[in-house]
Every structure is written in structure tokens, then in C-alpha cells.
Chain A
Amino acid sequence: MGDTPSFDPSSLDELVDINSIPWSPLFIFIMVVAVAISLLVAGLVAYSVRRFRARPGGGVPRQDFGNRNLEIAWTAAPAALVIFVFGWTFLTMRTTPTPGSDLPDGRRPDIVAVGQRWWWSFHYPESGVTVANEIHIPAGRRVLVQLTSDEVQHNFWIPELGQKMDMYPGKTNYLWLEAKEPGIYHGVCAEYCGTQHAWMRLIAVAQPEAEYAAWVRDQQTAPLPVAEPLPQLGRAIYIARNCGSCHAIATVSEGQAGPNLTHFGSRLTISAGVLTNTPENLAIYLRNPQAVKPGIFMPNFRLSEEEIAALVAYLESLR
């Protein structure tokens, strides 16, 4: 058990296109069969209802106890059907890269994803980049994601880009992701993980290779300190309020309990999808994070409006 047929990375391109799995012939086939069987049964019921309705003077119908041959036939037919679909499933699985617990030979993960309550941390081992709640991937290239969790079980799923796989503390799973086209793809945590499971969302931004490379370079460098006074003040408040005990910002703080904020200003959403990232929304969030996303581990600091304005200016400048 457990010894997956190994996937030769060089032949990956010949494998079934994971991106198209939802529309693969196998899926279309089982959908068509499901609809056909449902319609068949509904049709037979409807027909019987009309044709064999009791009529006055209808008498006693023929007492038919069964027919062995017929019954063997309608047992054998579905059996043949499921064996056929099983065979097809088997072949698809051999050629579909969903490695699960088994790391494909000779591959290192491109992204290490760690589920947190209720946000995501992502690390790119190759480039040393750490981000939160939003990943960037090169369009048209298959990336291998390693999945683990910090405390409770989560599940990583971007419906349009690949299948879903659980994340456990103390266990590693792997999953292929591939975006055919550049674009923005929504993902979710698909395994119930407590109070804010609903707002444990993520975003994958698929970019053309060159853009992606530029993004990686951007992420590797700490954002330039901004000269204006308001962000400067914000930075001071960030330090004074000890935000850094939970958050990391390159060259400023190294907290781990919350999302990495180094390039927070460039992210699309706040707090794993609960708000879109605009200065107004960030102000709402900082005014009382517990009102926006109740139950999270980001406390309400009861900041003054001035502090909030300064923090917003600072955080949004981190691009």
C-alpha cells in the first residue's frame, strides 16, 4: 500500500491535463449516465403511473412473482457498467497527477502551503519568498504544492486549477496546480476547521512567465521605506503597538502567529478573503477585526482614528 506508481517529471506534459479534469471525458460520461439513469427511472415511473392506474372494474392484475433471467440481466448490466467505469477511473488515476501523500520522484515542492486558523501561509523554497493568503503561479506551468497544517485539519482547493487535498498537522500531502491561462482564481479551505472556516479563502494569481519572475524578484526585496510622514508614523505605531509580535514585515518584525505583511499592499484581499483590499476596508478591519471576522486570533486594539489612518497608510504602502 502507498507505493504510488511514480510520476516521471519529464513526462508530465503527457499526463492528463489536470486543469481540464472537471470537463474530462470520464466526468462527462458519468454525468451523462447519471442523468440518463435518473430519467429512465423517472420515465418508467411516469409511464407506469399513466398506463397502470387502477380503473374501476380493472380486476386483479396478473400476480407476477419475478423472472430469474430478467433479474440476472438487470444485475449484470449495472455490474458491467460499474466495472467499466472502475477501469476508466483506474486508468485516469494512473495518468492524473494527484500524488496525495506520495512525493513524486525527484521533485521538490514549488510551494509549501501551511493551513492556519483561518488563513494560509505560503513559502516558496526555491526563491525564499513567504506570503500569505495569496499565491502567484506561472501560467501554463505545473507547480507542485506541499500541504501541511499547523494545528487542525484544513483542505486546500482551487476548483478551477486542481483537485482538493487535506492538510494535516504532522503529515504532508502533495498536489499539482496548473493554470492554463493567466488570471485570478479563487480557492477555499474545504475541510471544516472551526469558527472562521467560511472565510478561509485564498487567491491564486496566474501570470505569464516574465511577469511571474518579476513578481518573485519583487517579493525577494523588502519594500522601500516610504518618505511621507503618515506611513512613517504608521510604521512607528506598528512597532509601538507590538503588531510585530504576530506579524512579519521584512526588516521590521518577525512574528509568526499572523499573516506575513511584507507586501501586504499588493494583496487583493484582507484576512483571507473577508474584504477586498482597499484603504477604506483596511480601516474598517483595523477598527475592529473581531467585528469583520469574529473569532479570529487578531485582537481588537481599540486604535484611535489617527492611529488607524497612519497604519493604513503604512500597510498599503507595503507593495
Chain B
Amino acid sequence: MTAKTARDVPLVPEPTVALPSLRSTEGRLLWLSSVDHKQIGIMYILAALVFFLIGGIEALLMRVQLATPNGTFLSPQLYNQLFTMHGTTMVFLVGMPLVAGLGNYLVPLMIGANDVAFPRLNALSLWTLVFGGLLLHFSFIAGGAPAAGWFAYPPLSQRTFLSDSGVDYWGIALLITGIGSVGGAINLIVTIVTLRAPGMTYRRMPPFVWLTLLTSFIILFALPTLNATVAMLLLDRQLGAHFFTPYAGANPILYQHYFWSFGHPEVYILVLPFFGIISEVIPVFSRKPLYGYAFVVGSSIAIFFYSFAVWGHHMWAVGMGFWLDLFFAIGTFLIAVPTGVKIFNWLATLWGGQIRFATPMLFALAFLVQFTIGGVTGVQFAVIPFDRQVTDTYYVVAHLHYVLYGGSIFAFFAGFYYWFPKVTGRMFSERLGKLTFWLMVIGFNLTFFIQHVLGWVGMPRRVYTYLDLPGLAVMNLISTLGSFVLALSILTFLVSIVHALLRGAPAGDNPWDAYTLEWATSSPPALHNFAQVPPIRGRRPLWDLNHPELADYRRAGDAVGEGTGSRKEARTP
């Protein structure tokens, strides 16, 4: 054995291809050390999918336990850990990285940039997320996962009541991933503000970019609140501080205000980028432009502001007092409007179109209906007496899954299948895609629709078992069966990916005849994205390029004020 010198250690070579092979050590090193926005985006999404499988398995275990009354499949302690981990995982390790990953991959391509503004910060954000996620799951073998619920209310989350280290892991993991999220948000904001190609004015930005921009601002303002709150909780637990300890005279309800003043904006973080996906997919597959671009963007700006003023609607059972309760009701009613009008915009986009039913479009259509259901039950909560009836029950569980699964995750799958040919250069099998879609629609609705009824008849959430009251057993069994259909759809999804990677036909640059710049480059995009950015004279540069006779900028009396008169146009590369 000769001593190794620094020279013998393989250095990471400069990347030469967009997607280095995983077969060689060098290729794998290139991925690990990557500062390329596309690779980082892909890794974000892969990490999210891995955590999605973990969180999904946690959910399935819970559904097995609840399939019959007085189930003994899981101990109460384990069940409580599982629902805590399921919620935490799905919000922080699936939702957040999906948002970050989609933004990372797509935003530079969509605005005609070569990379994000701070590639190294980007890599740091990714790896903090992965590390935070691993740390959280390490708690399982380090004495027990957290069991305080994903919002970890004190006093229960104090050391006095949960003395093992689970909640500590939870707090530290959230701090770490929170830092990554803020870094990612700053990166995307700066990228969008400074790196747009000539001609890509704010008013021409694809809706997905707009919504990612707004989401990033929400992250920037909301996540620090969470981090500060979690830090206080950890100080209470570790150093005996008394931020939230009632026996030392502190008010634990303060924590709820802190938490939800992050938590409600968080809901919009987990929804707005997916509105962006829908606003890309529906127009392309209807062969029309997005109906009312300015309304979609403008209403999202309204959501951005409102989202910080409605957190109290998570707290109507607290006893905040009449007027404070009412204050939060007003905001909650009002925020429904800018959220709701988007549904009409998307419906109007469908109207009169030439709708192609490829897999991405199917997911987008299911999104429309399911998100609406989640939305209307959301507004119902603003009727405070109604909220006091259904809050903390399965009605809420049903509602939030209609919003975040039936809405966001369905939109994610729409986007996944839509951009898959771009990212990998391969087409997926439509048959597998459609099979996945139908299994998922059936499984999802079977699992969650009945939960509205469960909540209405009085089944509280977060119970490891329930009394055999009339109807409960049947409804829970239906829900459990549904969850297995849903799990099956995830399997066919994975099969469809593997199948496409191995057998998929080459996709070509623009298989969907789509509108935005990412479709101008090769599939997969070259290392530095574009050899040349096509001229940007409107919101749909590729449509203009491919349909010159119908180009947006030719429209007389341009109603949206786009396509004419920008000085930047002259500087087309």
C-alpha cells in the first residue's frame, strides 16, 4: 500500500453533459457535487418522491390500523408517531422539496436563463433538506419518533409530557430544512428578478414563474416565523426556558398563534406553484392561451397578502374571544374569492378549445374538480359555528387532503407527466399513464370522500382507534380499501417511469406543441440550457415561433397589452 497523496484522490471533473451517467464513480460524484439547477431540481424531486413513499407507507399503516374498530395492528404510541411523521414528512419533506425542485428545474428554462442566480446556495439548500429529512427519520432508531403531531402544540410537546428525543429531532430537522427553504426562496427570487432573457418582461412571464415568485416571497416571510417558534420550543425543552410553559406563567396559546402565522401561509406555499402548473398544462392541452392571465396573476398577488392574515381560522376552538374570531372569519371568507376565480379562468380556458386527453391533462382536469371540493369545504370553516362542529375531526382530514392531494399532488402529477419528456428526453407510455390516473382518481376519492361523513358524525382526528358506533366501521373500511387502490396507483406510476426510462421513445424538443421557452431547447436540455433563446415577443414565444401566422404579437388591438411596444424587444439575442 502506498500512501495516497492529494493528487490520487479523484477530483470532480468539470461537467460536460447535462445528465451524467450513474454507472461511473465520476458520474455519481458529478451528481453529488452538482451546482447545476437542472440536476438539483431532479434531485429535489427524487428526494421528495422517496419521502412521499415513506410518508405514504406511514399512512397505509395507519389505515390498516383503522380498518376495524379496536384495531390492534399498531400500538397507540407507534400510531401517534406515525401520524406525526406522516404530516411532517408530507408538508416539509414532500411539499416543500417539490415546490423547490419544480422551481429550480423550470424557472431558469422558462425565463431563458442558464442557471439560477446562486448555484452554490442552491446545492446547499438541497442538501440541507436531505440532511434534515434524514435526521428526522433517524429519530425512529434514536429512541422514538416525535409524537406531538405535526404542529407540536405545547404543553404536550414540552419535555414534561414527551420526554424522549423525538420532538427534539423534529425541531432540529425543521430548523435545518427551514434554512434550506429560505435559501432556495431567495435564490429563485433573485433569479427571476435579475436573469430574465431580453424580452421576458414581468407581464410576459409564464404563470408558473409568477406563482413561483410569489410562493418564494411567502416562504421568505413565513419560514423564519416557524424557525423562531421551533427555536423557542427547543429552548424550552433543552434549556428550561419558559416560552410556552403554563406552570411558569407562560401562555401556550401564543405558540399556536406563532405556528399558524407560519402555518397558514404554508398552505399557500403548497398550493400556489401547483396553480402555476395547472395554468401551464390546461392551456397547452386546450390549444388556447390561458384565459385572463392578468386575473390569474393578480388574484395570486391578493392571495399572497391575505395569506398572512387568516391564521386564526385554525384556532376557533381556542376561545380567542368574539371579535378576534370574527376578524379571522372575514379574511378567510375573502381569500376564498381570489382562490375561487382561478377555477373559472381555467374552465374558460377549456371552453372552446381543442382538448387533448394526454395523461397530464387528465390529472389537471381531476385537479379542477377535486380542488374545488377542497376549496368549498375550506370556506365552510369560515362559518365559525360550523367550524366549531367539524374542526379536529375527519372533516378537516378530508378537506386538507382534497386541497393538498386532490389539488397539489394531482397537479404535481400533471406537471410530472407534462415535463417528463423534457427532463428525460423520453416519452412515457400513455397506457401506463392513464392507468395510473384512473387508479389514483378512484383510490383518492374512495379514501377521502367518505371522511367528510366520518367527521360530520363525530369521529375526531388523530385517534389510534375508535368506538364501534353505528357506521364508523364500514366507512373506515371503505377508506382503508381506497387507500390501497391509491397505493396501487403509486406502483403503476413507478412502473411507468421505469418503463419510460428503459423503453420510452425519444421525445423530441416540443412533443406537446407547448408555448414556453423550456420547450425551445433540446430534451433533455443541454448543460447550459440554450444555445440561443428564441425571440420573446409575447407570453407564448414558442407558439409565436411555430404558428407565425397566428402569433400573439400579430393580434390587433392587443387586449392584454402584450406583444407590442416593448423597447426590450430590439435586444433579442
CA–CA, A194 to B329, complex, Å?
A: 30
Whether A201 sits at the interface, judged by CB under 8 Å, is yes
CA–CA, A45 to B282, complex, Å?
A: 12
CB within 8 Å for A26 and B386 given contacts A42-B369, A71-B345: yes
- Is the Cβ of A164 less than 8 Å from the Cβ of B161? no
The residue on B at minimum CB distance from A59 is: B354
Whether B228 sits at the interface, judged by CB under 8 Å, is no
- Is the Cβ of B77 less than 8 Å from the Cβ of A74? no
- Is the Cβ of A92 less than 8 Å from the Cβ of B337? no
Total contacting residues, chain A, CB less than 8 A = 91
- Is the Cβ of B322 less than 8 Å from the Cβ of A197? no
CA–CA, A192 to B326, complex, Å?
A: 25
Whether B333 sits at the interface, judged by CB under 8 Å, is yes
Q: Which of B376, B392, B469, B550 contacts A33 (CB 8 A)?
A: B376
The residue on A at minimum CB distance from B364 is: A45
Q: Which of A21, A27, A101, A192 contacts B321 (CB 8 A)?
A: A101
Whether A44 sits at the interface, judged by CB under 8 Å, is yes
The residue on B at minimum CB distance from A83 is: B333
Closest beta carbon of chain A to B573's beta carbon, Å: 26
- Is the Cβ of B80 less than 8 Å from the Cβ of A195? yes
Q: Which of A53, A67, A78, A98 contacts B355 (CB 8 A)?
A: A53
CB within 8 Å for A193 and B156 given contacts A52-B286, A90-B326, A159-B389: yes
Whether A107 sits at the interface, judged by CB under 8 Å, is no
CA–CA, A90 to B252, complex, Å?
A: 28
For A27, A74, A96, A273, the residue with the greatest tally of chain B CB atoms inside 10 Å of its CB is A74
Whether A3 sits at the interface, judged by CB under 8 Å, is yes
Whether B44 sits at the interface, judged by CB under 8 Å, is no
CB within 8 Å for A159 and B383 given contacts A4-B321, A100-B321, A168-B253: no
Residues on B with beta carbons closer than 8 Å to the beta carbon of A208: none
Whether B289 sits at the interface, judged by CB under 8 Å, is yes
- Is the Cβ of B356 less than 8 Å from the Cβ of A65? no
- Is the Cβ of B385 less than 8 Å from the Cβ of A60? no
CA–CA, A83 to B376, complex, Å?
A: 15
Residues on B with beta carbons closer than 8 Å to the beta carbon of A98: 385, 388
Residues of chain B in range 310-341 having any CB-CB distance to chain A below 8 Å: 317-326, 329-330, 333-334, 336-338, 340-341
The residue on A at minimum CB distance from B362 is: A49
Residues on B with beta carbons closer than 8 Å to the beta carbon of A75: 295, 299, 337-338, 341
- Is the Cβ of A168 less than 8 Å from the Cβ of B252? yes
Known interface pairs A48-B353, A52-B350, A66-B294; 9 further A-B residue pairs with C-beta atoms within 8 A, sorted by A's residue number: A30-B383, A34-B379, A54-B354, A60-B287, A65-B293, A153-B155, A163-B389, A166-B317, A192-B153
**8 nearest A-B residue pairs (beta carbon):** A2-B321, A198-B463, A163-B388, A100-B319, A66-B292, A159-B458, A101-B319, A34-B376
| Interface pairs (7), CB distance under 8 Å | A53-B354, A66-B348, A70-B348, A78-B341, A153-B156, A196-B76, A198-B464
